[in-house]
Structure formats: structure tokens, C-alpha cells
Homo-oligomer: A and B are copies of this chain.
């Protein structure tokens, strides 16, 4: 069980939509779509992807980190460091 296990269906749907959007970008390139319109679509895919990341982060903090902290203080601490590093990677991406 993971923090996100109860919402797997929701994530599957969102990622399937993102996959379709990426294929849409490929199609735009095949069809010589105007560059700026492709950039707009890329920003939209990027936002959707970050949204999935934020959802997973929320459930990770809510479940995995909380359970770790309740069971063992040091483990909770190290899981928080790890989560903040994950946020940093999202910010830098």
C-alpha cells in the first residue's frame, strides 16, 4: 500500500490524458503546427504533470511520512528530508 493507492484510478486517468497530450504534441509537429501553439500545449502538459506530482506529494506526506513519523521519529525525519528533496527536483525541472 502507498499513499496514493486509494486514488490509483484517478492517477491512471490523468496520466492517460497526459500521454494523449504528448501524442498530440507529436501530431502537431508532424502537421507543421505553428511553433507558439506547440509551446502552449507543452506548457499545458507540463502543468498537468506537475499536478500529478503535487497530488502524489500530498498523499505521500499524508500517509507514508505520517506513518513513518508515528512509528519512529528518526525515520519520519529522514522521510521529510527526502520529500523536500523531491520538491526541489520538481522546482528545478
Contact = CB atoms under 8 A, between A and B. Distances in A.
Interface of A: 1-5, 8, 11-12, 15-16, 18-19, 22-23, 25-26, 29-30, 32-36, 38-40, 42-47, 49-50, 52-54, 56-62, 64-66, 69, 76-77, 80-84, 86-93
B56 A35 contact: yes
A30 B26 CA distance: 26
Copy number in the complex reads 4
A43 B92 contact: yes
19 contacts: A2-B35, A8-B29, A11-B26, A11-B29, A15-B25, A19-B23, A36-B82, A42-B50, A42-B53, A43-B86, A43-B89, A43-B92, A46-B49, A46-B50, A57-B84, A61-B83, A66-B80, A90-B91, A92-B93
Given A58-B80, A59-B35, A43 B90 contact: yes
Contacts of A38: 56
